[in-house]
């Protein structure tokens, strides 16, 4: 089997409502680049990449001269052909590599008639549990604003009822830590049996992180995720707070993983199939984590069904996945795969069983959402439409005002 073409299509899929985060917002939609890796036998392997609200079409087109004629089975060679570590000092293609790896795994699985989970060692679970991923949100058609503890709890209650979540993740770093602590405690009060995690995307000062961490020590926490920036910052928090620390920001490659093993700063590593350069590097990293008794979880970078499938196949084969995975997925209004969005049941999503990734493109939906991208263009992920002129600093001291309704018109 040989690669004959690489096609990329940018799509915009609407979210229920604009999602606020510590660096800005998702402006009511996700912009994703869908990749099709075509082989000489007519099979098409699917990949997907995000990119902070922008298209990556041109970057994928530029890879064709490197990969025309490449055998998709040659997955280690693929890494060195487009992302060897020294060339990557100039041309960092880690995330592009990830999308191409997804496509190659999909091709190999289809060629052999087995799912990606089977290729990766065989599934040890048929479904992957997920956390509800709770954001502060601006109001949008059919969806009210989420800013206060009451609004947040109401939202979590309806998600729990609809999808069966037993783990809740609060994405913070938007409002002053005192307000977000009140929100987190309200979740703990409402769902005493459920587990919780808080992630302010590394914007707290060390002092605020210590205050927040100590205040939640008695709650049913999975972990405190990236309260401050950097391995040294996390290590300082870890020395004084009795809650496991997690990161998806500063352990995203093997050098950083080695540092974290030698001098532990994070107890849990959130594996991201994009950030790490594919599904297989995540599996290798999980093996290191298993050896050193680090926890692993699955990070969400705002995926549609193709990348979600990579997360499901990864989750299916990880023996040490003891935490529910993260996904923004329930925030989406639709998907580009056949049959529409994959369904949650009992807080979990079934691992696809078909050959390869087990998901196929719905051409009508791809065309519709490619048109929506052409209409709306990209969006600045690191800006907040409700706070003109504001930009995030780390640590941040200029939080949004929780007493002011932040309704916007996009
Ligand atoms: Mg995070």
Read out DSSP for 233-255?
HHHHHHHH--S-EEESSS--SHH
- CA contacts within 13 A on the Cβ side of 305: 24
Q: How far is the CA of 88 from the centre of ligand 1 (A)?
A: 24
- The residues that bridge with 171 in the sheet, in sequence order, are 135, 199
* List 299, 313, 328, 341, catalytic entry: 299
CATH classification (class only), 3-118+363-376? alpha beta
In the prediction, which pLDDT does 149 show?
98
Helix (H) or strand (E) holding 151: helix 149-163
Rounded to an integer, what distance in angstroms lies between the CA atom of residue 156 and that of residue 159? 5
Ligand 1: distance of its center to the CA of 363 in Å? 32
pLDDT given at position 323? 98
pTM value > 0.85: yes
The 3-state secondary structure of 204-237, one letter per residue: CCHHHHHHHHHHCCCCCEEEEECCCCCHHHHHHH
- Active-site hit among 171, 179, 313, 341: 171
Q: What parts of the chain have a pLDDT lower than 70?
A: none
Of 256, 147, 150, 134, the C-alpha closest to 198 is: 134
| CA–centroid distance, residue 171 to ligand 1 (Å) | 8
With CA atoms as reference, report the closest residue to 164 among 396, 402, 350: 350
| Ligand 1 centre distance from Cα of residue 273 (Å) | 14
Cα(246) to centroid of ligand 1, in Å?
Answer: 8
Residues 134 and 159: their CA atoms lie apart, in Å, by 9
Listed in sequence order, the residues at least 6 apart from 185 whose beta carbon sits closer than 8 Å to its beta carbon are 149, 216, 219
For residue 331, what are the contacts with CB-CB under 8 A and spacing of at least 6? 15, 16, 17, 19, 133, 135
Task: Confirm whether 299 is a catalytic residue.
Answer: yes
For residue 52, what pLDDT is reported?
83
At which residue do the structure tokens 């890494």 appear?
Answer: 79
Note the pLDDT of residue 365.
Answer: 98
Give CATH for domain 122-350: 3.20.20.120
Q: What is the predicted pLDDT for the residue at 51?
A: 78
Report the pLDDT value the prediction gives residue 407, as an integer from 0 to 100: 75
**Cα 228 to ligand 1 centroid, rounded to whole Å:** 11
Angle between the 279-291 and 305-317 helix axes, to the nearest 10 degrees? Answer: 30
Q: Could you tell me the CA-to-CA distances from 146 to 104, 215, 277, 296 in Å, in that order?
A: 40, 23, 34, 30
Instruction: Report the C-alpha gap between 22 and 170 in whole angstroms.
Output: 12
**Max CA-CA distance within the chain?**
60
Q: What is the pLDDT of residue 310?
A: 98
Q: Measured in angstroms, how far is the CA atom of residue 110 from the centroid of ligand 1? A: 33
Phi, psi for residue 385 in degrees, rounded to 5: -65, -20
Delimit the domains of the chain by residue range: 3-118+363-376, 122-350
Which of 146, 123, 4, 25 is closest to 67 using CA atoms?
A: 4
Sign, Cα dihedral of 103, 109, 115, 116: negative
- Pairwise CA distance, residues 187 & 169, whole Å: 10
The Å distance, Cα 42 to ligand 1 centre, comes to 39
């Amino acid at each position: 089997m040989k690669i004959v073409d690489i096609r990329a299509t940018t799509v915009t899929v609407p979210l229920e409502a604009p999602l606020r985060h510590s660096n800005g917002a998702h402006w009511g939609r996700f912009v994703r680049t869908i990749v099709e890796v075509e082989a000489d036998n007519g099979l098409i392997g699917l990949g997907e990449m995000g990119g902070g609200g922008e298209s990556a079409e041109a970057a994928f087109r530029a890879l064709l001269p490197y990969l025309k004629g490449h055998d998709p089975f040659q997955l280690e060679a693929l890494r060195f052909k487009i992302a060897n570590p020294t060339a990557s000092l100039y041309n960092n293609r880690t995330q592009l590599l990830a999308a191409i790896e997804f496509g190659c795994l999909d091709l190999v699985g289809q060629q052999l008639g087995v799912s990606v989970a089977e290729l990766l060692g065989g599934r040890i679970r048929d479904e992957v549990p997920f956390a509800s991923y709770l954001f502060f949100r601006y109001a949008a058609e059919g969806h009210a604003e989420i800013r206060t503890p009451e609004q947040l709890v109401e939202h979590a209650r309806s998600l729990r009822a609809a999808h069966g979540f037993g783990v809740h993740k609060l994405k913070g770093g938007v409002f002053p830590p005192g307000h977000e602590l009140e929100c987190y405690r309200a979740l703990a009060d409402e769902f005493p049996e459920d587990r919780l995690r808080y992630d302010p995307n590394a914007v707290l000062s060390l002092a605020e992180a210590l205050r927040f961490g100590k205040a939640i020590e008695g709650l049913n926490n999975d972990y405190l995720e990236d309260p401050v920036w950097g391995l040294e910052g996390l290590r300082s928090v870890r020395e004084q707070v009795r809650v496991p620390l997690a990161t998806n920001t500063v352990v995203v490659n093997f050098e950083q993983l080695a540092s974290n093993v030698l001098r532990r700063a994070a107890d849990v590593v959130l594996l991201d199939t994009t950030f790490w350069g594919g599904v297989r590097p995540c599996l290798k990293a999980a093996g290191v984590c298993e050896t050193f008794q680090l926890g692993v979880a699955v990070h969400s970078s705002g995926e549609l069904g193709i990348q979600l499938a990579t997360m499901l196949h990864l989750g299916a084969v990880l023996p040490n996945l003891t935490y529910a995975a993260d996904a923004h997925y329930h925030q989406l209004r639709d998907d580009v795969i056949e049959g529409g969005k994959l369904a949650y049941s009992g807080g979990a999503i079934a691992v696809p069983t078909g050959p390869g990734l087990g998901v196929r493109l719905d051409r009508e939906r791809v065309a519709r959402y490619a048109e929506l991208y052409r209409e709306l263009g990209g969006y600045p992920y690191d800006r907040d439409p409700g706070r003109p002129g504001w930009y995030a600093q780390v640590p941040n001291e200029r939080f949004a005002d929780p007493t002011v309704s932040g309704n916007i018109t996009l």
